[in-house]
Amino acid sequence: MDNNLKPFVFLLVTVFFLSLSGCHLFETTKVSESEIKRASSWSDKDQYPRFLSCEGLEGEDEKNCFESVISSKILNYIEEQDWIASENIDTEVVLNLVINEEGFISMASLDASSKIEAAIPNLESTLADAVNQIPQAQAAIKSNVGTLVSTSFKLPIRISALEDN
């Protein structure tokens, strides 16, 4: 074999063996949708979003405190409004809230019938303003990844009003 060809053959053989030994780097692992869902589900080890005023509470007490702060802030704001209903109302709407990774709370949507939206035209904007009055919270923590996560929840609100005569 020619001496000039030896380095080339050596290089070619080396690259060949390196490529064979590195194949495992290109393997992909497929994770099933059910496994992703299970890992994403809320567990007792995860930290619910919280307010500083709920400090020292744990578990269900901390969750109840958090929900109580939000409910009372929204209720106080609603009580300050001069809503006028065009008809008698006794129904429930559902406020869909999001708490982002920084702890800011916003209204994602409002589930309400067209009847109540017609009876109280500024309902959605008033509830959005009420949510904007809620102080910043500490975001939820997903324990299996150890990071702050965005969370969402539904807040049912009972609205009872008498028609303005």
Are residues 89 and 22 both part of a single domain?
Answer: no
Count of beta carbons in the 10 Å neighbourhood of residue 95: 22
Give DSSP secondary structure letters for 30-78: ---HHHHHHHHS--TTSBPPB-GGGTT--HHHHHHHHHHHHHHHHHHHH
Are residues 129 and 90 both part of a single domain?
Answer: yes
Are residues 61 and 131 both part of a single domain?
Answer: yes
pLDDT digits (tens, 9 = 90+) for 121-144: 888 999 999 999 999 999 888 777
Q: Are 100 and 162 in contact (CB under 8 A)?
A: no
Range of the domain at 18: 6-35
Are residues 73 and 148 both part of a single domain?
Answer: yes
pLDDT at 81: 83
Are residues 71 and 23 both part of a single domain?
Answer: no
Residue 129 in any domain: the answer is yes
pLDDT at 72: 92
Whole-angstrom Cα distance, residue 72 to residue 66? 10
Are residues 50 and 31 both part of a single domain?
Answer: no
Give DSSP secondary structure letters for 104-164: -EEEEEEE--HHHHHHSTTHHHHHHHHHHTSPP-BPEEETTTTEEE-EEEEEEEEEEE---
DSSP secondary structure code for residue 14 in this structure: H
Whole-angstrom Cα distance, residue 2 to residue 4? 5
Whole-angstrom Cα distance, residue 72 to residue 43? 27
Are residues 88 and 27 both part of a single domain?
Answer: no
Are residues 29 and 54 both part of a single domain?
Answer: no
Residue 1 in any domain: the answer is no
> What is the pLDDT confidence band of residue 149, given thresholds at 50, 70 and 90?
confident
What pTM, to 2 d.p., does this model score?
0.69
Are residues 31 and 58 both part of a single domain?
Answer: no
Are residues 15 and 82 both part of a single domain?
Answer: no
Are residues 11 and 81 both part of a single domain?
Answer: no
pLDDT digits (tens, 9 = 90+) for 35-92: 766 666 666 677 888 899 988 888 888 889 998 999 999 999 988 887 777 778 888 9
Whole-angstrom Cα distance, residue 51 to residue 135? 8
Q: How many distinct structural domains can be found in the chain?
A: 2
